[in-house]
Amino acid sequence: MKTWFVTGGTPGGFGIAYAEAALDNGDQVAVTTRRPDELHSWARRYGDRVLILPMDVTDTEAVEQAVRAAEERFGGIDVLVNNAGRGWFGSIEGMADADVRRMFELNFFAVLSVIRAALPGMRARGSGWIITMSSVAGLRGIEGFGYYSAAKFALEAITEVLRGEVAPLGIQVLAVEPGAFRTRAYAGFADEAVAETIPAYLPMLEQVRAAMIDQDGKQPGDPQRGVQAVIAAMAQATPPHRLVLGSDGFDTAVATLERNLDDIRACEALSRGADFPAA
């Protein structure tokens, strides 16, 4: 029986999809959430195999306490799923500085806090999985979500380097990059006004907001199927380093990487010409 530690436990989201998949496989799960009352009735059906932990991922002390509580209850954490996060929209030039910092606190620094809290136990046991929920926005910057994309790009780099650092210690790391999935992530845009300090960007941001509202409830991705794909990837003899989820995400990722390769190769002579001349 494995122990999972899942952040961002929101009904209808990836967090609960991970928890239910693990529980259906006979495992036990610690789920963190800012609103524990939403999960108590759900958790009762699983008895003592579920531990609900009130936690704000941006509070480092609370993160450390939650990880210790899970380890004390279950004896250790085998699979960490860094799932908590969300995106706010705004222009690169005009998003308020406080909102930029809030974006990185939630989507980047909080992830580091959870990883750092869970790694000592994994290192001591010589095994473990770290699943980082990134995004296709971590491979292709999205207009209107520039700082969200930047935080996810940063997560991609951290995940890649971490994978190499902890592999000799018996710990595996996987970046998961969903496209558009039918979670509650888009639901708040209808009630969220555009907060922008520079009027020139308002038309673009209004289009972004309208598109998010229009897509809510119509996203092609199924969180339950997405989680099953992650579990299948983990079970492969040679697990992948990253897993793009959803057809739209796959097409976007492939097109982005191919376009980047074409762009790099088109300037190969300029790139190589920047070296000192050969002796």
Domain range list for the chain:
3-269
Q: How many CB atoms lie within 10 A of CB 241?
A: 14
Q: What was the pLDDT predicted at 208? A: 86
- The amino acid at 61: E
Q: What is the chain's pLDDT, residue by residue, as a tens digit (279 residues)?
A: 999 999 998 888 899 999 999 999 999 999 999 999 999 999 999 999 999 999 999 999 999 999 999 999 999 999 999 999 888 889 999 999 999 999 999 999 999 999 999 999 999 999 999 999 999 999 999 999 999 999 999 999 999 999 999 999 999 999 999 988 887 766 666 566 777 779 999 999 988 888 888 887 778 889 999 999 999 999 999 999 999 999 999 999 999 999 999 999 999 999 999 999 988
Helix (H, G, I), strand (E, B) or coil at 198: coil
Catalytic residue among 18, 91, 113, 134: 134
**Cα–Cα distance measured from residue 158 to residue 12, given in angstroms and rounded to the nearest whole number:** 28
Q: What fold is seen in the domain 3-269?
A: Rossmann fold (3.40.50)
User: How far apart, in whole angstroms, are the C-alpha atoms of residue 17 and residue 8?
Assistant: 11
Q: What is the pLDDT of residue 32?
A: 96
Beta-carbon contacts of 75 under 8 Å, excluding residues fewer than 6 positions away, are 3
By C-alpha distance, which of 186, 185, 183, 174 is closest to 244?
174
Contact between 155 and 134 (Cβ < 8 Å): yes
DSSP state of 278: P
Among the listed residues 148, 149, 186, 201, the single catalytic one is 148
- Number of C-beta neighbours around residue 227 at 10 A: 23
Is 149 a known active-site residue? no
The CA-based angle 88-90-174, given to 5 degrees, is 45
Within 13 A of 242's CA, how many CA atoms are on the CB side?
22
271 is catalytic: no
At 46 the three-state DSSP class reads coil
Q: How far apart are CA 56 and CA 201, in angstroms?
A: 32
Q: Which of 91, 152, 186, 201 is catalytic?
A: 152
**How confident is the model at residue 184, as a pLDDT?**
72
pTM attached to this predicted model: 0.93
Give the model's pLDDT for residue 224: 94
Beta carbons within 10 angstroms of residue 192's beta carbon:
13
148 is catalytic: yes
* Residue that is written with structure tokens 């941006």 in the block: 58
CB-based burial, 82-115: b 16+ in 10 Å, e otherwise: bbbbebbbbbeeebeeeebeebeebbbebbbbbb
First to last CA, the chain: 61
Output the pLDDT for position 188. Answer: 65
pLDDT of residue 190: 58
pLDDT at 260: 97
How many alpha carbons lie under 13 Å from residue 81 in its C-beta half-sphere? 29
Q: How far apart are CA 46 and CA 203, in angstroms?
A: 48
Residue type present at position 87: G
